Amino acid sequence: MNKRLLHWSLWIIGLLGLLLVITMFSLSVGSSKIPFMKIIPLLFDNQETTEKIILLNIRIPRIILGIAIGGALSISGVILQGLFRNPLVEPYTLGISGGAALGVCINIICKLNHLSVATLPISGFIGAMVVVLLTYSLGMKKGILKIQGLLLTGVMISFIATSLVMLLMAMSSSQNLQGIIFWIMGSLDEPDWILISIMLVSSAAGLIIAYFFYTDLNALALGEEEARHLGINVERTKKSLFLIASILTGVSVSVGGVIGFVGLAVPHVVRLFFGSDHRIVLIASYLVGACFLVVCDTLARTVIAPLELPVGVITGIVGGIIFVYALLKSNRNV
């Protein structure tokens, strides 16, 4: 076996092991502590104990959702940074989070969430996809997807969506305002297994589909002209990658709210350790993003237990520190 592939395989096994350790730790800590040795027996115990209910109804759904959303946002970050050849681009740069937040605001103000809790993620996804279609259509010129124009359009649409959200918040009642703010800050407290399953399947499918484009991403890193000379269908690749990243981000935001810095910081850290070859960057980013978000969610629900912090607050603080460290370290290596 190629030495590089062997090295990467060992790293992937190590990251999977780290994710398992973090998962077991997250299952055991909280306002009700459960010893490591009791977790597996509890899951197979026929008795409905309090500890088993906590594991099955609270902690396991949150961990699965954390793995799925953390991985999806990280993959989106890798794709968009490779597509735009800009290390500061993240999944929310194109206004996807603003569109989702606007959809949820309208839902809460119109009290559609009283009909069903599922209307919140549906509204968020619709809002995100409306922004994606608008950004895509404005970025298309004569059948060519203009990357820089797409970025500028996305940023401006993001500002407009955010301003509209702030306008609606200013006009909202205190009860509606609290619901909007809590959603915008992000949370993995989602007990609906249908939504969790959709998020998990979307996340895994996104990783698998994105991996088929690792050659294209490596070629695009050299520039569009060089990629064309290497035989890459650049326009088709750009459209496909943009669609993959947008759907992953839209589903993640609609289920978990706005959880920042995952798609920005994680790809930087991964490239710092593994280089820029997307054969390893995609898989490693998914696993590191999953580990990162599960750790942040564990901190969010234990730092001031029994109260809970929004996970977006933790990812913003921790992710920001990691991002600055990664930038400083990469600058020293230049």
Q: Locate tokens 């913003």: which residue?
A: 316
Q: Check residue 281 and give its pLDDT.
A: 94
- Is 286:77 a contact under the CB 8 Å cutoff? no
Other Cβ atoms less than 10 A from the Cβ of 127: the count is 27
Report the predicted TM-score, pTM, of the whole model to 2 decimal places.
0.90
Report helix, strand or coil for 69: helix
**pLDDT for position 296:** 93
pLDDT (tens place) for every residue of the chain, 334 residues total: 578 888 888 999 999 999 999 999 999 887 788 887 888 887 777 777 888 888 888 889 999 999 999 999 999 999 999 888 887 788 888 888 888 888 888 888 887 766 776 787 888 888 888 888 888 888 777 777 777 778 888 888 888 888 888 888 888 887 778 778 877 888 888 878 888 998 999 999 999 999 999 999 999 888 888 888 888 888 888 889 988 988 898 888 888 888 888 988 899 889 888 888 899 999 999 999 999 999 999 998 888 877 788 888 888 888 788 777 777 776 665 5
- Separation CA 157–CA 21 (nearest Å): 41
Residue 316's nearest CA partner among 296, 298, 334, 333 is 296
Which amino acid would we find at residue 268? H
3-state secondary structure of 8: helix
Residue 99, pLDDT score? 86
Helix (H, G, I), strand (E, B) or coil at 31: coil
pLDDT score recorded for residue 15: 95
What pLDDT shows up at residue 334? 52
Which residue is it, tokens 């062997």?
6
Domains of the chain: residue spans and CATH: 3-333 (1.10.3470.10)
Rg of the chain in Å (alpha carbons): 20
For 190-200, b where at least 16 C-beta lie within 10 A, e where not — what string?
Answer: beeeebbebbb
Q: Of 180, 175, 142, 188, which is closest to residue 162 (Cα–Cα)?
A: 180
Q: Of the candidates 98, 100, 127, 71, which has an alpha carbon nearest to the alpha carbon of residue 263?
A: 71
What values do phi and psi take at 117, rounded to 5? -65, -30
Q: What is the pLDDT of residue 332?
A: 63
